[in-house]
Structure 1
Amino acid sequence: MKATGSLDRIERASSVSSDTSSSTSSSSSSSSDEKDPLLSATIVPKRRSSSLAEDHPDDNADEVEYLYEQDFFTLRAECLKAKKLFEDPEFPPDNDLLRKRSARHFDDLEWLRPHEFVRPDEPILVSDRNEGFDIRVGLDSWFVPAMGAVAESEALLNQVVPQDQGFTAKESYAGIFHFRFWFGRWIEIVVDDRLPIKNGTPLYMKSACVEEFWPALLEKAYAKAKGSYELLNHWMPIDGCIELTGGVPERVRDLPDLLSMDARHADRLFFDLLRASQLGNVILATTAIKTRQTRLCLAEAGQLGLHVKYAYRVTRVAYLGEGQQLIRVKNCSGPLHVNWIGAWHPTDTRWANVSEDIKKELETETYQDGGFWMAYGDFLKYFKTVDICHLNHEVDQDITFHGRWEVGLNAGGVQKGDFKNYSKNPQCFIRLNDCDPSDPDGRCSAVISLMQRREPKSRAKGLNQVGFKVYRVEDHCEELSTQFFAYRRNDGFHKCVAKTPTWQDGRESNIRVRLSPGKYCIIPSTFFPDREGDFILRVHIERYSRETADELMKRPLHAIESVE
């Protein structure tokens, strides 16, 4: 199936293709990036036989779909044969597609291809120097942290910006470029290279290297996906991370509250961040919205050098022993000079007690990228929320269920005591076998994320109030019936072991679970019965047995006592 529309057709919670859903068969399919006998996945919308994901993998899981059915290679070949440069009919050089606040520039604006204004050097798509990129101050920059993460990872960059293109004849230049985004599935979007230019420079995103153009062209492709440059405004930073990497999101809210709780809760989060950082996941931190209650704390953060209106990216996490927990953050959207004067600032005397080898490893002398170290306690105090985008890699494992709630089939809702309808909901089975060595109870860790289709004309709301529950089941169990939910006994089964805090109408809900090894059933549902909608349920399972010895040595084991 190919994507044939704009934003509504390609948003993250896109509907499944016709070969995996219908009104007469299972409205869900599952896929995993690796066939592993330790993990099984089954989804049961009603009374139907179950199947393991490794036995029936989703053959289309990695298939790239095309927005507006525009195939890059076909279009490029046609342009080369006709000896003309590509002009995109779906996203023409029209000032009406620009941001409204750019109207004052229209009289001085031209739409030009890079080779028409880059002099004397020739334009390039990706520079070997990787000097980063700049944005115009005042323009919306919610996706800049994600762009920065992509720029600093060769694997991510090659995934989003395919290497089979460029500006030279050897690279078959024809004025057309293609980029890939994750909107529930990987979508390929082509654009021509005509950019809005003022005084010889791109109006919006641009590289610090004047000859490099992947940031400007990627931004144009992103604007095409949303519908215009104007519609590219005011999304959440984590949206950019998900859509540029395909990662599974995890959100931790109310960080300052951890300072008044049992210290083991803060320690648990620290070591989760440490592991996520070591594995190359994208970690974002944002401050609280300015209110009467947060005004003083934000003012104090500003006095210490934090730019509270910007999102920060966590680039390193370090445990120095004896309770010394450090976080390195980087302001991706604002000034690059470091203004931090709080604990562990660049000239803080605390560094005198750190060995030269460790300081060299932590790159304490490197601040050109705008990053700096701060105490973990200050991180919790001044930031409100942390978002982790867990990427697919060789250590952990992701599994995905594409599904749909349909009236008369599996839209059972989650009303209290209505076990008959509730048992009709989709049932997604997973197996957790890999215990966290730092967990004193020997539990396994996973992040579960549920996405749904966006409500029209809304950037945050979904079509339904949705959530999920998790149940421990016996190894031979393949389907949960009405009797399972109605039956009560104190045997560890028949009761919910984890769930979303609420059934809410956001586009995405996620929780981290720490559960004993075994088989589990995840049941995604709408709050009310008979509400239709598409969903994507993803499970990111942490696989500690695959970590290298070096990774394990850098993270203290059994460092946290049992805490619930």
Structure 2
Amino acid sequence: MSGIAAAVQHRREKNQGIGTNSQAVKYLNQDYEALRQRCFESGRLFQDESFPALPSSLGFNELGPNSYKVRGVSWQRPTELTSDPEFIISGASRTDICQGALGDCWLLAAIASLTLNEEVLARVVPHGQSFRDGEYAGIFHFQFWQFGEWVDVVIDDRLPAKDGELLFVHSAEGREFWSALLEKAYAKLNGSYEALSGGSTTEGFEDFTGGIAEVHELSRPSPHLFHIIQKAQSRGSLMGCSIDITSSADSEAVTRQKLVKGHAYSVTGTAQVEYRGNMEKLIRIRNPWGQVEWTGAWSDDHRSEDGEFWMSFSDFLQHYSRLEICNLTPDALSDDSVTKWALSKFDGSWRRGSTAGGCRNFPNTFWTNPQFVIRLDEEDDDPDDGEAGCSFVVGLIQKNRRRLRKTGEDMHTVGFAIYEYCGQRNVHLNRNFFLRHASAARSETFINLREVCSRFCLPPGEYLILPSTFEPNKNGDFCVRVFSEKQCEGPIHQRTAPELLLQKDGSGKLGLVEFKVLWTKIEKFLNIYREKDVDNSGTMSSTEMRTAVEEAGFSLNNALHQVLVARYSESDLTIDFDNFVGCLVRLETMFNTFNTLDKDNSGNIELNLLEV
């Protein structure tokens, strides 16, 4: 199926609810129930050929086939490792998760946080899975959020082991396997176990919830941070905090006031109480260990520790380094009393030579990046939050970059800018706009993480979001999400093919009249070509091609421009005059044909097989 046909099919499925958590997309078209039933009928345990029990599933470098780290590794089912395996024993808990020989502690911290919210956990770990007779067939499944849709990932239960023990994640007591199987499903989704090495807890938060995670550095907190935490709590957001370590020796070191460095805590509540004539801001924190509690001011001072304690907000800012808030999507919580975010989502791509313009340091190409427009209509309801305007969070996520690690690629350095905009809505803004206007807001930095996320508060109005890589000509796919307190309008699509301006007097036949028309157009194209060939090289760059095509009367969207560059440019992204003319003539012919078939000017046509 072509890219365009696949996109149309994907939109239809999305309109039917496919991709929601309740109707997750079947990853690699594997149907869990059908495969499980087939195993029961055949009397054989499931073997997943799409993620085989082979070295290739372990990794490509440090865990590659020739690495000493994988010597002696065998793939064994839980029934071969213990006589009485269990999927989950007495509910999922943090003690079910112990790290193995893989640097994915970021993932395990996110899994541990999942266990604190049963409703969110059930979206990732579907019920009804076990090792009991009559239910066990060697097949399990888990659900993950991936760039705007939920996918259902099927695995067999053959796990990498060495000397009779699991090589990677395992439970503390050895009989519980849900966490090891969850890790395997996530490894399959990302191509291998090694692809999971190194990452951010927020990445796991998002893939397990579909939420958008923002990070607050407590060394330079927002003046409204306490209010932000209160609002996050009212929306059911997941919140965690931690203390940075300065060396490996600091990891899980306990301070004099019994706080643990390099350890993930959960933020579970806030309060404001009157104390000595002043209002004191308090924050409630939980240590997932269930013990080792803060002994400073406002601590409970009980001998029996339960891991949860209060501390003043000022002490919190002084002792902790970082706060992470995972804002959940509107469908994540069933509690109607919880205030929910409004969500808008945009998908796009950067393509070398056409839509990968780099950051604003490259003014000649910056404008060619994808552009998305949102409209913020209503200010926030809360008059006491200290911010006048519309609050919203923007997250830019790079798609599928972990899967590319085995080819030597990794995360791009990415960021975004936001411009106040008022004008014709379906027009891709050109170079002149960005030379004359400063951004209204932008991501705090360009960074090589999967997601760049920032919180903003701007007056009502229309805004253009422009995501980019730091350097131009970097290929990649991405999605932009906007979480707003009020529903914002978006996406605004760029002008589509049926809206393009075309002359209608060229038939393509070489009669005398038609030849004169064609010759007139070629002369026009030649003048445009010479004007845009500013360096007199005899060729045009792909960026110059875009402005030349627009001057010829075609206002193309990004998808069409990507196709033209791929079809008509050379390997060095230059276009000669012959290809330029061929491109324009082909465009006009195609859209004249479209307009002829679009008899009712609806912007849509239906073709039979012969017409195609």
Q: TM-score, normalised by structure 1?
A: 0.68
**Aligned twin of 1:376:** 313
C-alpha displacement of 1:192: 1.9
Matched with 2:141 is: 178
Distance 1:435 1:461, change over 3 A: farther
Please name the residue that 1:235 is paired with. 199
Q: Deviations over 1:325-348 (max 9, x none)?
A: 22233344xx44224222222218
- From 172, 184, 193, the equivalent of 1:220 is 184
RMSD: 4.4
Q: Which residue of 2 aligns with 1:82?
A: 42
Which has the larger share of helix?
Answer: 2
Mapping 1:30-41, distance limit 5 Å: none
Match of 1:304 among 247, 257, 272: 257
Equivalent of residue 447 in structure 2, options 504, 516, 527 = 504
C-alpha offsets along residues 164-189 of structure 1, whole Å, 9 cap, x if unaligned?
A: 54444665x31200011223243322
The within-5 A match list for 1:11-160 is: 19-20=6-7, 61-62=19-20, 64-92=24-52, 97=58, 111-114=76-79, 117-119=82-84, 125-126=87-88, 129-130=91-92, 132-136=94-98, 141-160=105-124
Mapping 1:183-202, distance limit 5 Å:
183-184=146-147, 185-195=149-159
Selected match of 1:275 from 231, 251, 256: 231
Residue-by-residue CA offset, 1:389-433 (whole Å, 9 max, x unaligned): 211126112222111022443333334583x64333212122222
Match of 1:428 in 2: 372
CA contact (8 A) 1:462 1:506 kept: no
- Provide the secondary structure at the position in 1 that maps to 2:219: helix
Measured at CA, do residues 199 and 275 of structure 1 come closer, stay the same or move farther in structure 2, by a change above 3 Å? farther
The alignment partner of 1:410 has SS state of coil
What's the % identity of the aligned pairs?
33
The one-character-per-residue Cα deviations of 1:263-303 (angstroms, maximum 9, x if unpaired) are xx34x111111221232212222322417xx99x9999722
**Contact map agreement 1:235 1:459 (CA 8 A) in 2:** no
Q: Secondary structure at the match of 2:413?
A: strand
Match for 2:474 among 506, 515, 531? 531
Give yes or no for the alignment of 1:405 onto 2:350: yes
CA contact (8 A) 1:95 1:106 kept: no
Bigger mean CA deviation after superposition, 470-479 or 273-282: 470-479
| Equivalent pair of 1:409/1:424 in contact (CA under 8 Å) | yes
Kept in 2: contact 1:472–1:520 (CA 8 A): yes
Q: Is this contact kept in 2: 1:461–1:506, CA < 8 A? A: no
Q: Is the 8 A contact 1:413 1:528 kept in 2?
A: yes
Q: For 1:388, which of 325, 337, 340 is the aligned residue? A: 325
Greater CA drift, 273-282 or 140-149:
140-149
Compared CA separation, residues 132 and 481, structure 1 to 2 (3 A)? closer
CA drift of 1:82 comes to 0.6
How far apart are the structure 1 equivalents of 2:416 and 2:209?
A: 24
- 1:514 deviation in Å? 0.5
Does structure 2 conserve the Cα–Cα contact (< 8 Å) formed by 1:133 and 1:205?
A: no
Counterpart of 1:554 in structure 2 is none
The structure whose RCO (Cα within 8 Å, separation 6+) is larger is: 1
Match of 2:549 in 1: none
Work out which of the residue numbers 438, 444, 447 in structure 1 matches 2:393: 447
The count of aligned residue pairs is: 461
Contact 1:436 1:444 in 2 (8 A): no
Q: Supply the AA of the counterpart residue of 2:342.
A: Q
Q: Deviations over 1:341-373 (max 9, x none)?
A: 22222218xxxxxxxxxxxxxxxx9953x3332
Q: Distance in 2 between matches of 1:137 and 1:165?
A: 23
For the 8 Å contact 2:366–2:431, the answer to whether it is kept is no
Relative distance call for 1:110 and 1:470 in structure 2 (3 A) is closer
**Contact persistence 2:81–2:164 (CA under 8 A):** no
Q: Distance in 1 between matches of 2:310 and 2:173?
A: 27
**Equivalent AA in structure 2 for residue 499 of structure 1:** R
Q: Is the 8 A contact 1:134 1:205 kept in 2?
A: no
Structure 2 unpaired stretches of 5+: 332-339, 489-612
Superposition deviation, residue 522 in structure 1: 0.8
2-structure distance, mates of 1:306, 1:152: 20
For 1:276 and 1:520, locate their aligned partners in 2 and report how far apart those are by CA, in whole Å. Answer: 25
Rg larger in structure:
2
Structure 1 residues 159, 497: CA separation in 2 closer, same or farther (over 3 Å shift)? same
- Read off the aligned partner of 2:330 and give its amino acid letter: H
**Contact 1:447 1:540 (C-alpha < 8 Å) held by counterparts:** yes
In proportion to residue count, which structure has more strand?
A: 1
Instruction: Find 1:250's aligned residue among 214, 223, 227.
Output: 214
